[in-house]
C-alpha cells in the first residue's frame, strides 16, 4: 500500500470514530443534567445505537453493495449527519432529542462498515495491514475524550458543545470522503438477498452446540456491557472524578495495546480461555467499580477502566475470529452479520433498557444513585454467563 493511501485511510478512521466518541461517552451525563432524563429515557437514547446497528445491514446490503461507491455513500451520510448533530445541540426536550438521535444513528452506524470496505479494497494483505489502519479509529475516540477533558466541558456544564464539535468534524469528513480511493459496489447488478443481508443463511451454524453456546453467551454478555457504556460517565461525574471523559480514554488505550498482543495470547491460550478471560474481566471490572471511590479507592476505578482492553478484545475480537473459523468462506459475511445483529443490535438494546431500569430503581430521591448496588447487577450477570460458558463450551480442535 502506498504511503499516501495509508495516510488517507488512517485519517478517515480517525475522523469517523472521533465524530462518534466526542458526544457518545458523555451522552448520559448530558441527558441527565440538561434534559432531566431518567434512567429509562437514557437507556432509550443509548438504544438508538442498537436500532441503528439493526437497520445498518439494509443500507449496506441494499444500497452500498449494489448501486453506489462506498466512499460516496460515506460522504453523503456524514454530511447529513452533520446537519442532524447541529440540530441535536438546539433541542431542549427529550422527545425531540430522541427522535433526532434515532435518525442520526441510522445514518451513522452504516459508516462503520463503509470505512472498513474502503480500507479493505486498498489492501493486498488485510490480515497484516488492517489493524494498523483500524487502530487510528481508536486513537480518534481517545482524542475525543481527551479534548472533552482539556476543554473542561463536563466541569463547565457545556456538553452541548460536543454535538457542535461532532457536526463540524462530520461535515469535514463528509467532504473529505469524496477524495478517498474509489470503492465501487462489489455486487453491482446482482439481486438483493434478504437472507444474506440479515445473515440468515448462517443460522445453520447454530446446529453446532459449541457455536450455539458461544452465540448465546455473546448476546447475553452485551447486557452487562451496556452498563459500562451507559452508566460509567454518569457514575464518575456523580462521585466527583475530575475530567471523567478524559479518564475513560484509558480504556481505549488499553484496547489498543491488547489488540496488538492478541496473536501472542492466541497461540498460548486458545479460543476458550481467551473468551473466559474476557468474561471474567467484565465481572472483575464491575466489582472494582462497586467498591471503588474518588478518594482512596480511585485505583479501583482506574483499574476497572483499564480492563476495557481485556473485556473487549478477549471476548469480542476473539469471538469474531472464532466465528470466521466456524463459518468458512461461503457464509463468512453472513455469519459476521448475524453475530453483529445479535450483539450490538438485540443484546445491547436489551442491555441499555435494563441498565436504565436498574439505575432508576437505585436512584436517590435528592439526587444521585446507590452505585454499589447498581454495579453488582452486571457483575452477577457476567459471573453467571462465565460459569455457564465454562461448563458447556468445549475448546475447538483448531483454535490456533
DSSP 239: T
| Domain termination residue (choose one: 184, 210, 230) | 184
Query: Are the C-beta atoms of residues 52 and 111 closer than 8 Å to each other?
Result: no
Residue 263 buriedness (CB in 10 A; 0-12 / 13-18 / 19+): exposed
Q: What's the pLDDT tens digit per position in 214-242?
A: 999 989 999 999 999 889 989 998 998 88
> What does the DSSP 8-state code read for residue 293?
-
Number of domains observed in the structure of the chain: 2
Please tell me what DSSP assigns to residue 191. P
Query: What range defines the domain where residue 235 resides?
Result: 202-400
Cβ-contact 256, 131 below 8 angstroms: no
Task: Report the C-alpha gap between 308 and 209 in whole angstroms.
Answer: 29
Residue 197 lies in a domain: no
Which SS3 state, helix, strand or coil, does residue 400 take? coil
Decide: residue 367, CB within 10 A, 0-12 exposed, 13-18 middle, 19+ buried.
exposed
Does the model's pTM come out above 0.85? no
Which CATH number does the domain housing residue 392 bear?
1.20.1250.20
- Whether 238 and 141 share a structural domain: no
Residue 233 forms part of a structural domain: yes
Contact between residue 286 and residue 341 where contact means Cβ atoms under 8 Å apart: no
| Backbone angle region of 209, left / alpha / beta, with phi > 0 → left and psi within -120 to 50 → alpha | alpha
CA dihedral for 210, 214, 219, 223, sign (positive or negative) = positive
In sequence order, the β-bridge partners of residue 363 are: 369
Nearest Cα residue to 287 out of 391, 381, 164, 150? 381
Alpha helix segments (H runs only) across the chain: 3-24, 27-34, 39-59, 70-88, 94-108, 110-121, 126-150, 153-156, 160-176, 194-198, 209-238, 244-291, 298-306, 308-312, 318-327, 332-340, 348-361, 371-392
Could you say which residues of the chain have pLDDT below 50?
399-400
Same domain, 164 and 206: no
Close Cβ partners of 198 (under 8 Å, ≥ 6 residues apart) = 57, 337, 338, 341
* Count of CB atoms situated within 10 Å of the CB of 132: 13
* Pair 123, 229 in one domain: no
Query: CA 375, CA 293: separation in Å to the nearest integer?
Result: 13
Q: Is residue 217 part of a domain?
A: yes
Whether residues 85 and 150 share a domain: the answer is: yes
* Same domain membership, residue 101 and residue 223: no
| 144 lies in the same domain as 270 | no
- Residue 19, all three cell numbers: 465524530
Are 253 and 160 members of one domain?
no
47 plus 129 within the same structural domain: yes
- Are 25 and 162 contacting, i.e. CB atoms less than 8 angstroms apart? no
Length of the chain: 400
C-alpha cell at 378: 452486571
168: how many CB neighbours lie within 10 A of its CB? 14
The verdict on residue 61 lying in a domain is: yes
Kindly state whether residue 196 falls inside one of the protein's structural domains: no
Residue labelled with grid coordinates 482539556 = 150
CB 230 within 8 A of CB 352: yes
Cell of 9: 485511510
The pLDDT value recorded for residue 400 is 42
Same domain, 354 and 210: yes
Cα separation of 28 and 245, whole Å?
Answer: 12
- 190 located within any domain: no
Q: Which of 26, 68, 397, 393 is nearest to 210 (CA)?
A: 393
Instruction: Note the pLDDT of residue 204.
Output: 80
Q: What distances in angstroms separate CA 184 from CA 90, 111, 115, 122, 123, one per listed residue?
A: 37, 15, 13, 12, 15
Residue 186 has phi, psi (to 5 degrees) of -70, -20
Verify that 169 and 247 share a domain, yes or no. Answer: no
CA dihedral 42, 46, 48, 53 (to 10 degrees): -160
Domain check: are 7 and 33 in the same one?
A: yes
Q: Is residue 274 part of a domain?
A: yes
> Three-state DSSP class for 369?
strand
What is the percent of the chain where pLDDT is above 90?
42
All three cell numbers of 260, joined, read 496488538
Task: Please give the DSSP secondary-structure letter assigned to residue 363.
Answer: B
Within a 13 Å sphere around the CA of 341, how many CA atoms are in the beta-carbon half? 19
Distance CA 93, CA 109 (A): 24
Amino acid at each position: 500500500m502506498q504511503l499516501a493511501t495509508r495516510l488517507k485511510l488512517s485519517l478517515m478512521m480517525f475522523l469517523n470514530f472521533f465524530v462518534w466518541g466526542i458526544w457518545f461517552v458523555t451522552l448520559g451525563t448530558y441527558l441527565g443534567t440538561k434534559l432531566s432524563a431518567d434512567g429509562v429515557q437514557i437507556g432509550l437514547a443509548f438504544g438508538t445505537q442498537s436500532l441503528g446497528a439493526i437497520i445498518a445491514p439494509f443500507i449496506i446490503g441494499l444500497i452500498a453493495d449494489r448501486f453506489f461507491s462506498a466512499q460516496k455513500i460515506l460522504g453523503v451520510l456524514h454530511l447529513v449527519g452533520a446537519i442532524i448533530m447541529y440540530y441535536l445541540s438546539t433541542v431542549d426536550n427529550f422527545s425531540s432529542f430522541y427522535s433526532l438521535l434515532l435518525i442520526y444513528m441510522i445514518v451513522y452506524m452504516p459508516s462503520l462498515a463503509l470505512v472498513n470496505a474502503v480500507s479493505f479494497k486498498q489492501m493486498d494483505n488485510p490480515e497484516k495491514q488492517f489493524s494498523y489502519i483500524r487502530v487510528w479509529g481508536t486513537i480518534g475516540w481517545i482524542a475525543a475524550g481527551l479534548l472533552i477533558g482539556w476543554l473542561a466541558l463536563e466541569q463547565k456544564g457545556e456538553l452541548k458543545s460536543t454535538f457542535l464539535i461532532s457536526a463540524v468534524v462530520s461535515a469535514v469528513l463528509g467532504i473529505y470522503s469524496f477524495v478517498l480511493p474509489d470503492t465501487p459496489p462489489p455486487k453491482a447488478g446482482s439481486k438483493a438477498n434478504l437472507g444474506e443481508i440479515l445473515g440468515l443463511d448462517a443460522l445453520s451454524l447454530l446446529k453446532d452446540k459449541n457455536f450455539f453456546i458461544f452465540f448465546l453467551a455473546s448476546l447475553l454478555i452485551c447486557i452487562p456491557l451496556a452498563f459500562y457504556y451507559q452508566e460509567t460517565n454518569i457514575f464518575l461525574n456523580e462521585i466527583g472524578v475530575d475530567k471523567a471523559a478524559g479518564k475513560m480514554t484509558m480504556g481505549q488505550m488499553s484496547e489498543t495495546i491488547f489488540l496488538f498482543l492478541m496473536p501472542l495470547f492466541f497461540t498460548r491460550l486458545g479460543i476458550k480461555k481467551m473468551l473466559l478471560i474476557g468474561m471474567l474481566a467484565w465481572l472483575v471490572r464491575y466489582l472494582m467499580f462497586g467498591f471503588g471511590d474518588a478518594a482512596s479507592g480511585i485505583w479501583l476505578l482506574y483499574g476497572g477502566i483499564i480492563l476495557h482492553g481485556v473485556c473487549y478484545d478477549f471476548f469480542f475480537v476473539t469471538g469474531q475470529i472464532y466465528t470466521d473459523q466456524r463459518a468458512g468462506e461461503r457464509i463468512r459475511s453472513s455469519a459476521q452479520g448475524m453475530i453483529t445483529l445479535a450483539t450490538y443490535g438485540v443484546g445491547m438494546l436489551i442491555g441499555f433498557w435494563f441498565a436504565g431500569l436498574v439505575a432508576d430503581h437505585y436512584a436517590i430521591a435528592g439526587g444521585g444513585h446507590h452505585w454499589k448496588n447498581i454495579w453488582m447487577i452486571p457483575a452477577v450477570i457476567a459471573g453467571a454467563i462465565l460459569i455457564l460458558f465454562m461448563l458447556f463450551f468445549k475448546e475447538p480442535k483448531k483454535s490456533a
